[in-house]
Amino acid sequence: MAEADLHRRRFVFALAFAPTLAMAQGAKEGFKPKVGQAGKDVIWVPTPDRSVERMLQMAQVGPKDFVVDLGSGDGRTVIAAAKKFRARSLGIEFNPDMVALSRQNAETEGVADTAKFVQGDIFASDFSSATVVTMYLLDDLNLRLRPKLLEMKPGTRIASHEFNMGDWEPDDTSHIEDSTTYFWVVPAKVGGDWKLGVDIGADEDAVLKLSQKFQKVEGTFVARSSQLGLRDVSLRGDAMRFSLVDHRGVLREFSGRVRGGVISGSVKTGGKPVGQFRARRVSGG
């Protein structure tokens, strides 16, 4: 049996016995968390320290970031973000005892000013201002969160320990010993038709027709009766690139940023800048 599968089975096994462990937990005074204790949506199994660090590395966390950990448990991810990566961080945890413990841990580690914790339901909480979101939940919980994550600002970074996002393929995956970590960048919404205001050899303004599935984008360039394919289409957050061979047979490379209903940036031919472009959304989105 693969180590990752064994890890997942242990997690599910602990879930089955969560009610018994929770009943045995006892009084709040002198609270100590137990692996497998019940929570609102998931049992508590601590994320290994090496996986905590890897999630934060994959997200390239730094001092300018605001990291939010969903289901923050004993606070280790939030504390690591503040202590090792100097980021402002917040943990959202349903269990008030775990919240209290996390605050104590942050005090002990000397990061109570930048590592904060709140008691709350991750599905009812507003974490839209985060630049990085981390989690160790379950597949079905990730899928329930997915629509909310996809509505976050393009470029927001998401890292998950062990569990993925279904058919939203990760941008990066790491395997360290028996641990798997997934990483995504929230993509801008570009599906639809865009009027392309640039002279690329067409007789009139052209339209980009783009289809999108998460960060995967395909498209065509349409002008009058011509339909030209787009090459090397790439979308990472709000950064978009594509190229096409125009009506003169010239390869044009476009690189720009998506800002709501506008994509704007520069055009190159032969690797040299030749001008700017601007595409305005006319349908879709």
Give CA–CA dist 227/54, Å, rounded: 44
Residues 6 or more apart in contact with residue 64 via CB below 8 angstroms: 87, 131
Residue by residue, DSSP assigns 92-116 as EES-HHHHHHHHHHHHHTT-TTTEE
Task: Note the pLDDT tens digit of each residue in 12-25.
Answer: 434 433 333 333 33
Give pLDDT, residue 11: 46
Give pLDDT, residue 125: 97
CATH architecture of the region 3-185: 3-Layer(aba) Sandwich (3.40)
Counting every residue written for the chain, the total comes to 285
Window from 5-9, 44-48, 172-176, 225-229 with minimum mean pLDDT: 5-9
In this prediction, residue 43 has a pLDDT band, given cuts at 50, 70 and 90, of low
Q: Which residue type sits at 129? A: S
Give CA–CA dist 142/160, Å, rounded: 9
Asked if residue 43 lies in contact with residue 138, where contact means CB atoms within 8 angstroms, the answer is: no
Q: Domain spans of the chain?
A: 3-185, 192-284
Say if residue 159's pLDDT is above 60: yes
Question: In the predicted model, what is the mean pLDDT of residues 108-133?
Answer: 98
pTM of the shown model: 0.86
Say if residue 151's pLDDT is above 90: yes
In this prediction, residue 210 has a pLDDT band, given cuts at 50, 70 and 90, of very high
Task: Note the pLDDT tens digit of each residue in 233-273.
Answer: 999 999 999 999 988 889 999 999 999 999 999 999 999 99
The CATH homologous superfamily for domain 192-284 is: Calycin beta-barrel core domain (2.40.128.20)
Residues 6 or more apart in contact with residue 113 via CB below 8 angstroms: none
Say if residue 107's pLDDT is above 60: yes
